[in-house]
Amino acid sequence: MGPIRIAVVGMGKIAHDQHLPAIAGNPAFTLAATVSRSDSGVDGVPHFHTLQALVDSDVAIDAVALCTPPQARYDLAALALDKGLHVFLEKPPGATLAEVDALVAHAAKAGTTLFASWHSRYAAGVASARAWLADRQITGVKVIWREDVRVWHPGQAWIWEPGGLGVFDPGINALSIITHILPDPFFLAEATLEVPENRAAPIAADLHFRDSRGTAIHMDLDWRQTGPQSWDIVVETADGTLRLANGGAVLTLPGETLRHDDHEYPGLYARFADLVAQGQSDVDTRPLTLVADAFLRGKRLVTDAFFD
């Protein structure tokens, strides 16, 4: 079996910065095409304005990586699955939980791989954090995820629309880590969402969860932080404190600090290649479920208008 011929759909910043280098660095893949209405693609690689135009062409592909905003992703994924293609979904996997469930059933019927990717789970310190916490008594968890939206999402109107998630677009990265490393399931107890008066999605959120043992988990999300950015998780245990910094890249355990190079997207593509080879899918919706619960149960406060 030769390399997986993959097309990248949605050629925004994340595709250029992360997906294309990860594909180029993995011999299990070859970039067969790109799709975008606004980007010109990659020199020497067939480029199309729509996925329909690609599948109607004579360019052979085996898989697609969908890097579009989540609101548009279901129809693209359904089209790809109809054509027998394997599908890699950027996070979040969809705009609603029900559409992701529908895609899971669709992929199973089509006999193709569906991979809902959570790139922060592949940050260098996450696997070791999960192993260290597996048998320990956890007494408290704090998550501080504060960044400057003007730096990371300049001019991206879709992120403020319904389904775009607002501050939960980065916040779901933290949720993808803690749902993976904490040994007990947890759920939302209360939340406050700050929504700019001229936007549909929150710019900040304060969330309180508790796990099945009653342990408190607090999450502080804010998109208004300037200067140094904060992507930190602190887990207190009976055996000391675990800290994950820089979005999971730096792990500090009692008595030692482990620093590693970034390998999130290479790890995602290695996982996708394995799933395709094994004829399996991997779709974990727990992070998106917790975000949906925040919108369902959270108290909404109107705050100052936000302008890019």
Per-residue model confidence (pLDDT) at position 297: 96
Residues labelled as active-site residues: 91
For the chain, helix, strand, coil in percent to 5 are 35, 30, 35
Give every CB contact of residue 239 below 8 A, 6+ residues apart in sequence.
136, 137, 254
Domains of the chain: 4-116 (3.40.50.720), 124-260+292-303 (3.30.360.10)
Per-residue model confidence (pLDDT) at position 239: 95
Give every CB contact of residue 302 below 8 A, 6+ residues apart in sequence.
195, 196, 197
Per-residue model confidence (pLDDT) at position 262: 67
Show the tokens assigned to 289: 């479920």
Per-residue model confidence (pLDDT) at position 151: 93
Q: Stretch 145-157: mean pLDDT, rounded? A: 93
Banded pLDDT at 308 (limits 50, 70, 90): confident
Banded pLDDT at 263 (limits 50, 70, 90): confident
Whether pLDDT at 39 is above 90: no
Per mean pLDDT, which range of 151-155, 194-198, 222-226, 291-295 is the poorest? 151-155
Beta pairing, strands 186-196 & 204-211: antiparallel
Q: Coil, helix or strand for 101?
A: helix
Per mean pLDDT, which range of 9-23, 112-126, 144-158, 246-260 is the poorest? 246-260
Least Cα distance to 68 among 45, 46, 49, 44 occurs for: 49
Q: Stretch 76-90: mean pLDDT, rounded? A: 98
Per-residue model confidence (pLDDT) at position 256: 84
Banded pLDDT at 56 (limits 50, 70, 90): very high
Per-residue model confidence (pLDDT) at position 260: 65
Phi-psi label, residue 23: left if phi above 0, alpha if psi -120 to 50, beta otherwise: alpha
- In angstroms, the CA 303 to CA 306 distance is 9
